[in-house]
A and B are shown apart, each in its own frame.
Chain A
Amino acid sequence: MEQVQVQQHPLSIYFKIWTLLFILSGLSYMVDYLQFQGYLRWSLIIIFMLLKAGLIVAVFMHMVWERLAIIYAVLVPTLAIMVFIALMALEADYTFLSRLIYFGR
């Protein structure tokens, strides 16, 4: 039986990440509250979202302390989602244009 790695880390790191998550959530709410629009809004939303997601997966879910085998097993398959997004974005554009042409609105 392999020795089980125990995920034991000082509490302070959790409090730091917790605070960061609060700040980032507050900032993403401010994007809406201050009514930023257009590319500024979208890029800020994505930046705060990715930072939050990264912190949760890396520290709260202990991913940074795991071995590479499990990190790759979990993170690499999600790259396929990027392809799916690109395909469906093309499809949506096509549907939208068809609707404009054939339904006149």
Chain B
Amino acid sequence: MSSDTTAASQKGFAGLAGDWASDKDAFKGVPWGKAMMWIFLLSDTFIFSCFLIGYMTVRMSATDPWPNTSEVFALEMFGHHIPLVLIAIMTFILITSSGTMALAVNYGYRRDKKRAAILMLITALFGASFVGMQAFEWTKLIEEGVRPWANPMGAAQFGSCFFMITGFHGLHVSIGVIYLLIVAIKVLKGHYDKKGYEIVEITGLYWHFVDLVWVFIFAFFYLW
């Protein structure tokens, strides 16, 4: 039987790999990289759901008053006191970056390398400015005495939720910026001329997901 080289006859790691890859194609017409990105994003959805559900649980069970986020994240701008303004600006920046990313995907499939790469670089720039504003926000709250274990404005759980949720989201944005820069440079160099430009869409999926998570954080953590 040694001449039989089908996947079913192989043993050990070769057999393991063969069994998982034996020409089964569940997601027809979807490149494997895109299917894997979707599955990764699904697992990431569960991670962020755990954070937000944990936040819900501690907020519902906290007996100390929860700080008024509208006031905590207010800023004095142009002589006016504007509630939640920094977070609103961050939201608009992320949505803008999602738009430029969607356009980059479109130009990628048109094989317009230059436009796709430039739009991706603009997206990365918006992402970097978002992280910068988040660093500013963290600095402001740390100066006001908010810690992962304490919070002078009320419930101590506010601090732990804030740093964990926005911290993990900020990490995702930072990784996204690096990912975008790498892919944009590779697009410019023409590395995908033969392989095709699905990679831009896959990068786009990750970036839109980061924006998607922010939609939920904005609603539940900042607005609720």
Contacts and interface: CB of A to CB of B under 8 A. Distances in A.
Verify that A and B bind, or say they do not: yes
Interface of A: 2-9, 11, 14-15, 17-18, 21-22, 25, 28-29, 31-33, 35, 41-42, 45-46, 48-49, 52-53, 56-57, 59-62, 66-67, 69-70, 73-74, 77-78, 81, 84-85, 88-89, 91-93, 95-96, 99-100, 103, 105
A42 B17 CA distance: 49
15 contacts: A3-B29, A4-B29, A4-B31, A4-B198, A32-B70, A33-B83, A49-B218, A70-B30, A73-B26, A73-B39, A74-B41, A81-B46, A88-B54, A89-B60, A96-B62
A6 B109 contact: yes
Interface stretch (B92-100, B135-143, B163-171): B92-100
A29 B105 CA distance: 29
B28 A2 contact: yes
Q: Which applies to chain B's interface (DSSP): helix, strand, loop or mixed?
A: helix
B126 to A, nearest CB: 13
A32 to B, nearest CB: 5
B45 interface: yes
B223 interface: yes
Interface residues of B, number: 58
Given A33-B83, A56-B211, A67 B28 contact: yes
Contacts of B102: 14, 17-18, 59-60
Contacts of A73: 26-27, 38-39, 42
